[in-house]
Amino acid sequence: MADKFTIYSSGESQWVGVMHLALVEKGLKKDIDYNVKEISLSNGDNFAPEYIAINPNGTVPSLTAPSLSKPITESADILRWIDARGTKTLAPEDAARSKEILDLMHSPSMSTNLILFQARDADEMAYKKGSAWNAFLEGRQTRLDKELAAQPTHPFYVSKTAENLSVTSLYRADVGPTHEDFYKMTDGMYRTLAAGLDKLDSLIALPYAAGSRVSEADYNTVPWLAHAMMGADTPVADVQDFGPLERLIQKTVPDFKIGSKIKEWWSNIAKTEAFKEVYPVLH
């Protein structure tokens, strides 16, 4: 009998979707096959020393098991470990295409933090300051400040506190000329994001991302797109509505459209049981 494992999850985390899609695909059951430990990102629980000991990057998800010599801390690796329990079902038909898709979706240039936290002008900045994302950043900053005060030379807390503060300080400041460089940087990042989505459209094989069956390429792309759509203020029950995300990007790239292959793929993958269970709404 396979050993019972533990997953570290959060409803606020984008990449836990990769893990949960794989768990449903494999038919694994909570409390029978695995235990769940919930981590609050808005409270900065992923920055607690106890969690940093499990995942030195302070990211969620993570997975531990008696048979593992160390935790697994990357979502793509967690999916592969889960898929290896029994007959593999998520190995891609086209491994090279799948690798390109995974590399793209997990690249820093495609981070959905752009959509959630950044702004291109004073109106966007004022809107973000009045949103829940402001409280989210402040919650993280409070926890990081606390942990840094306790361990002032710890390399993780030194770097992560400064990284979070670089954005939080802009939210704390009055909207004005000090934000101009931030706006310009954000505008350029939206151009890169648009180009990345065009590349994704060119990579999708159909009917699924890497061929004729669902694979890791699909389950590493669904969480990204669902999170991006949610961050663009798509009504969470409208899982097929790309309009808000398109309009958000069009502010920088006026002729941008979600590609036809992405739309067809999304329609296909949304019909699967794993998608229906994990993404009844966008998150």
Examine the pLDDT at 87 and tell me if it is beyond 90. Answer: no
- Residue 171: DSSP 8-state: H
Kindly report, residue by residue over 141-154, the tens digit of the pLDDT. Answer: 999 999 999 999 99
- Residues in the chain, how many? 283
Give pLDDT, residue 103. 98
Q: What is the mean pLDDT of residues 246-273?
A: 98
Q: What is the mean pLDDT of residues 167-175?
A: 96
Q: What is the mean pLDDT of residues 245-269?
A: 98
Q: What is the mean pLDDT of residues 127-138?
A: 97
Kind plus residue range of the DSSP H or E element containing 262: helix 260-269
- Residue 109: DSSP 8-state: G
Give pLDDT, residue 1. 52
Kindly report, residue by residue over 185-218, the tens digit of the pLDDT. Answer: 999 999 999 999 999 999 999 999 999 999 999 9
Examine the pLDDT at 10 and tell me if it is beyond 60. Answer: yes
Kind plus residue range of the DSSP H or E element containing 149: helix 132-150
Examine the pLDDT at 33 and tell me if it is beyond 90. Answer: yes
**Residue 27, by phi and psi: left (phi above 0), alpha (psi -120 to 50) or beta?**
left
Give pLDDT, residue 86. 82
Examine the pLDDT at 2 and tell me if it is beyond 80. Answer: no
Examine the pLDDT at 227 and tell me if it is beyond 80. Answer: yes
**How much is the mean pLDDT over the chain?**
97
44 to each of 40, 148, 164, 242, how far by Cα in Å?
Answer: 6, 13, 11, 31
CA–CA dist 15, 12 (Å, integer): 9
CA–CA dist 169, 175 (Å, integer): 11
- CB 58 within 8 Å of CB 164: no
Give pLDDT, residue 15. 98
Q: Report percent pLDDT > 70 for the chain.
A: 100
